[in-house]
């Protein structure tokens, strides 16, 4: 018998990084404060989470944290808790380790990249997923070295990486949006994997490596939530900013 999914208790947004690949084209500052349609990426995510009924939000900050705090001060939204990674330059694995107590505070939790422009057509299916442990997949993506790919077998994720193990049996490939839903037990397991990685010298690794390790243990099976066709983009390079403004933004719902 399949158990009912746990309600999402909180979202953890990773917003600590510097975004060096954008600095040549943008004013130096946190990527989450890039504005599209008069709204920062962070504000849009917070409004979407509020509309989806997620009761708690934690924002992991680091680079230019004062700017993020000023952004939060001006918003007419419940203020999220802030956790700062003082060594943000090392990488997102360390940021997830720093926010480990909030990740494992009980209940199902969302783990989200802050540099994703999207609307509720992406977020709501994850919040309402029939499984407490799930990831988002877009099957319509441009192959290349940059996308984090998800290998699927009969709709179930079997690998997650920029260079996944193509020798694993699979029948479809999609791109990870960068949003994950974790059950209480899966969140605790991920926190343990992250801590072990940091202690063994892996603080500079991307946190997706730890999610991959969790997925491949098979102990906390992930469901795949297909959001193919929904408007979204991750913003890493100047070209992503152009795509966000010209392709994704016009398709977003005007209010969240």
Helical H runs in 81-183?
Answer: 92-98, 100-103, 120-127
Instruction: Look at residue 19 and tell me whether its pLDDT is greater than 60.
Output: yes
- Backbone φ and ψ of 160, nearest 5°: -150, 110
Count of CB atoms situated within 10 Å of the CB of 74: 9
Domain presence at residue 80: yes
Q: Is residue 1 part of a domain?
A: no
Q: Can you give the CATH number for the domain in which 71 is found?
A: 3.90.550.10
> Which among 75, 160, 73 has a CA at the least distance from the CA of 111?
160
Domain annotation covers residue 2:
no
pTM (2 d.p.): 0.95
- For 148-201, how does the pLDDT look when each residue is reduced to its tens digit (9 = 90+)? 999 999 999 999 999 999 999 999 999 999 999 999 999 999 999 999 999 999
- Kindly report, residue by residue over 65-118, the tens digit of the pLDDT: 999 999 999 999 999 999 999 999 999 999 999 999 999 999 999 999 999 999
181 assigned to some structural domain: yes
Give the DSSP H or E segment for 46.
Answer: helix 41-51
In a domain, 153, yes or no: yes
Residue 119 pLDDT level (bands cut at 50, 70, 90): very high
- Asked if residue 172 is part of any domain, the answer here is yes
Domain interval for residue 85: 8-251
Is 63 within the bounds of a domain?
yes
What is the count of structural domains for the chain? Answer: 1
* 3 belongs to a structural domain: no
């Amino acid at each position: 018998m399949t158990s009912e999914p746990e309600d999402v208790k909180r979202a953890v947004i990773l917003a600590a990084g510097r975004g060096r690949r954008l600095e040549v084209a943008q004013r130096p500052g946190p990527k989450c404060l890039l504005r599209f349609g008069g709204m920062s990426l962070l504000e849009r995510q917070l409004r979407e989470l509020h509309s989806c009924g997620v009761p708690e939000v934690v924002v992991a900050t680091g680079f230019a944290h004062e700017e993020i705090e000023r952004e939060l001060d001006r918003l007419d939204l419940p203020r999220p808790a802030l956790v700062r990674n003082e060594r943000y330059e090392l990488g997102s694995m360390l940021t997830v380790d720093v926010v480990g107590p909030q990740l494992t505070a009980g209940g199902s939790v969302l783990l989200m990249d802050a540099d994703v422009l999207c609307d509720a057509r992406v977020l709501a299916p994850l919040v309402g997923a029939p499984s407490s442990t799930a990831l988002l997949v877009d099957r319509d993506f441009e192959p290349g070295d940059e996308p984090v790919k998800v290998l699927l077998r009969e709709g179930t994720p079997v690998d997650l990486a920029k260079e996944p193990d193509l020798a694993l049996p699979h029948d479809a490939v999609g791109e990870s949006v960068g949003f994950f839903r974790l059950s209480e037990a899966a969140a605790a397991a991920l926190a343990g994997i992250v801590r072990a990685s940091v202690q063994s010298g892996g603080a500079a690794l991307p946190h997706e490596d730890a999610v991959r390790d969790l997925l491949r243990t098979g102990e906390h099976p992930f469901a795949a939530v297909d959001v193919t066709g929904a408007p979204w983009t991750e913003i890493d390079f100047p070209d992503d900013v152009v795509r966000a403004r010209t392709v994704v933004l016009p398709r977003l719902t005007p209010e969240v």
